[in-house]
Structure 1
């Protein structure tokens, strides 16, 4: 498959940040729509800080219940960069990723809550990170 292959997911027809509810509302050309909370988008950031650099390197995000999206920046015709109130801004949310999040929101959220519980972590309080062994690029 070439690098110029057509996009597999529909493109958004509307993208709106609701400041009061802190939800990103997104509508796609095929009718799929969702309202994704700032917390959901922050803890599912596609950044290396959250996802790591390979399988098993993910970092569970804690204490993000009250995080807000401060800015939505377009990136070309394929993604947006979200800037969060905790300073996080390194994830690019492609249309494909947002489409997947719109379709799988409930499952992904339940999985996140289960991981928090298993770790004894909280949506309200950040868990301290170990001082060593992290990625030196972040």
Structure 2
């Protein structure tokens, strides 16, 4: 599918990226976007090579850089700046947020990693 956002707005104080498409608007917390970065550093170079991202509860986006007419590069406060978020991937992250977030929490739990709850958690459940 081809999804193109009509508006992207960063809410720095609440650490949420608002992405509006014609049919839906998603509120995507920076932590959620960071742990689901499409970069090779996070996704690996193939199935089973994913690297679990830990300790990203307070990460924020410090800059957004448009990439042509198909993606945005997000630059995070932890210096992570690789990986291009295509419009379709942002739509997928929005529409599958609950499932992807629960899977992430399960992976943390399975590893025995404790996650510090934050006030922005309500955006994720």
**Alignment pair present for 1:62 and 2:65:** no
Q: Residue 9 of structure 1 aligns with which residue? A: 2
SS state at 1:87 partner? coil
Post-superposition Cα deviations, 1:100-125, rounded to whole Å, max 9, x if no partner, equal 0110001100100010000011335x
What does 1:38-117 correspond to in 2, within 5 Å?
Answer: 38-117=30-109
Post-superposition Cα deviations, 1:18-76, rounded to whole Å, max 9, x if no partner, equal 011010001112x1211000000000000000000000000000000001100011000
Unaligned runs of 5+ in 2: 117-125
Larger Rg computed on CA atoms:
1
CA distance in 1: counterparts of 2:20 and 2:113, whole angstroms: 33
Q: Which runs of 4+ in 1 moved over 4 A?
A: none
CA distance in 2: counterparts of 1:49 and 1:122, whole angstroms: 22
Unaligned runs of 5+ in 1: 1-7, 125-138
Q: Structure 2 length normalisation: TM-score?
A: 0.90
Between the two proteins, the alignment pairs up a number of residues equal to 116
